[in-house]
Structure 1
Amino acid sequence: MTNRTYAIGDIHGYLDKLKAIHQLIEQDRAQIGDFEAPVIHIGDLTDRGPDSRGVINYLLNGITEGKLWRVLKGNHDRMFAGFMHDANHQDPLLNPTLGWLHPRLGGNTTLMSYGIENADARPQADVFAEALAKVPEAHVKFLQSLEHFVARGDVFFAHAGIRPGVPLAEQSEDDLLWIRAEFHNSTADHGPLIVHGHTPVEAVTHYGNRLNIDTGAGYGDAISAVVLEGREVWQITPAGRIKIDPIKA
C-alpha cells in the first residue's frame, strides 16, 4: 500500500473549484507516477455555495466509476441528511436559535441547487414536501453513508478533529463532525497526525499534532488540497507542490 494520500478541504457547494483541485491532483499523480494513492475529501460537501447538487453528483459518479475517492461526513452534510429525514430535525450540536435553512448555515442555498426557491422564507412543511420530490434518494443515501474518519498509517482524517485523550477508535460522531476549541487548544501528541477541516483558516496550517486544510470555501475562498507522504505534507498548487512545515510555537 502506498503511504501517499491526497486530501481536499471543505467544499461547500463549489463544484468548479472542486474540479480544478482534482485536476491539480491528477497532474501531481502523473508527475510522480502514483495512480494508487486515495483522495480523501474532508467533508462539508454542501451548503452556502451555488452547486451542492453538482458536488454530490460529481463525487457519487466518480466513486461509481471506480475512482480512488473517499468522502468524510461533515456537520453540514449531516444537517442536510437530517432535514431530508425530518423537516423538524435539529442537529443536537447546532445553536438552537438556528435551523439548517437559515442563510447563515446555507441549507437554503443547497436546496436552491435542486430547484427549490426561497426555502428560508416559506413554511417548512412546504419546503420539506418539495425537497422530498426534488432531491434524489441516491443523494440522501450517499450523505447518510459517508465515513466519519479514515485512518492511514501515521495519519488520521476527520472532518472537525478528535477529542483529546479519547482513543481514536472510540471517538464519537459528534466530536468527529463538530469539535472545535477542545481540539484546537490541545498540544497533546495524538499519535497520528490529525488532518481536519471544519474551522476556516487563511492558509493550510500545520500545528505539529494537527493539519487544518479548510481554507474558507464556505465563505467564497479557496478549496485547498494537500498530499501527505507519511507525516510529510505538501500543498498542491498550480505552481506545483509547496512544502508545509509545522508552525513554530
Structure 2
Amino acid sequence: MRTYAIGDIHGHLDKLEQAHRLIEEDRARVGDSSAPVVHLGDLVDRGPDSAGVVDYLIRGIEAGAPWIVLKGNHDRMFTGFMSDPDHQDPGLRADLHWTHPRLGGDATLASYGVPGAGERLLHDLHEEARARVPERHLHFLRALPSRALMGEVLFVHAGIRPGIPLEDQVEDDLLWIRRPFLDWTGDHGVLVVHGHTAVDAPEHHGNRVNLDSGAGYGRALTAAVFEERRAFILTPEGRIELAPAT
C-alpha cells in the first residue's frame, strides 16, 4: 500500500504547491496516479496565505484529486474563533488567544482581508471576519477528519495517547498531544505518522514518524511517501529513505 503525506502547511501555499509537484514527479516515476495524499493538518496560521491554502485544497478535492486532509489544532482554533470570538480551545494555554502573533491567527485573518488583529476589539474583528471568510472554507475545515488509517500506517496531526485503543482516541489528543506520545517508545500496533511538533528535519523513531519540518517557522515543507511501513522523503532528486533512528 502506497500513501503520500505532507506535513504542517501553516499558510504557505507556495510550499504546498511544490510538495504536490514532488508527489506528481514520484507518481510518474512509479506509474501510480491513484495513491492517496494525506495532509497532516495545520493548514492555517503563521504563513502569508492561509486562505489560498484552504481554497487550493478544496478545489483539488472537488476536481477529484485523491487527497485526504486532516484537522490540526490550528484549524480547529480558527473555526472556534469564527463561531465565537471569545472561544478558547481546550488544548490552548488560558493566557493565549488564537489571534496572538505567537499562534499566527492574525496572519490567517489578514490573508482573508481582515488586518490589525492585535489592535482591534475581538468582537469587531470577528464581525468583519464573518463577512469576509467564505462559509465553504469554514464548512470544509469543520468537517475535516482527525485520523486516517492506511493499512499499518495511522496518519494523525499530533499523535495518539499510548495504551488507548485507536477507536477510543479523542480529538483533543489527536490534535494537541505532545509529551506522553513523543516519549513513548513502545509499539502502537501501527506506525503513527504525525506533525504538530516542529523539528529541523523529518524524524523516524521506529514507532512514529514526524513530518513537521517547520514550514510555519520558515523551514521546508516535507512531502513523503509510505510503502507499507517504509518511509521515503521526496526531493527534487528523487526519494531518500527515512530509516528509523538507531
Q: TM-score, normalised by structure 2?
A: 0.99
- The one-letter code matched in structure 2 to 1:159 is H
Specify which of 85, 90, 93 is matched with residue 91 of structure 2.
93
Q: Secondary structure at the match of 1:218?
A: helix
1:79 aligns with 2:80: no
Q: Distance in 2 between matches of 1:202 and 1:169?
A: 31
Q: Corresponding residue for 2:191?
A: 193
Cα deviation, 1:212-249, whole Å, max 9, x if unaligned, reads 0000011111100110000001000111000110001x
Q: Corresponding residue for 2:111?
A: 113
Q: Corresponding residue for 2:44?
A: 46
Q: Distance in 2 between matches of 1:21 and 1:131?
A: 29
- The one-letter code matched in structure 2 to 1:85 is S
Identity of aligned residues (%): 59
- Kindly report structure 1 stretches of 4+ aligned residues shifted beyond 6 Å: none
Give the RMSD, CA atoms, in angstroms: 0.5
Q: Secondary structure at the match of 1:175?
A: helix
Q: Secondary structure at the match of 1:125?
A: helix
Q: Secondary structure at the match of 1:243?
A: strand
Shift of the alpha carbon at 1:93?
Answer: 1.2
Specify which of 88, 99, 102 is matched with residue 100 of structure 2.
102
Shift of the alpha carbon at 1:165?
Answer: 0.1
Q: Secondary structure at the match of 1:47?
A: coil
Q: Distance in 2 between matches of 1:120 and 1:92?
A: 22
Cα deviation, 1:174-220, whole Å, max 9, x if unaligned, reads 00000000000001100110000000111111000000000001111
Q: Corresponding residue for 2:19?
A: 21
Q: Secondary structure at the match of 1:90?
A: coil
Shift of the alpha carbon at 1:27?
Answer: 0.5
Specify which of 13, 29, 32 is matched with residue 30 of structure 2.
32
Q: Secondary structure at the match of 2:99?
A: coil
Q: Secondary structure at the match of 2:140?
A: helix
Aligned residues: 246
- The one-letter code matched in structure 1 to 2:120 is R
Q: Distance in 1 between matches of 2:77 and 2:33?
A: 34
- The one-letter code matched in structure 1 to 2:133 is V
Q: Corresponding residue for 1:246?
A: 244
Cα deviation, 1:13-53, whole Å, max 9, x if unaligned, reads 00001001100100000110011100000000000000000
Structure 1 unaligned blocks of 5 or more: none
Q: Secondary structure at the match of 1:44?
A: coil
Q: Distance in 2 between matches of 1:121 and 1:188?
A: 47
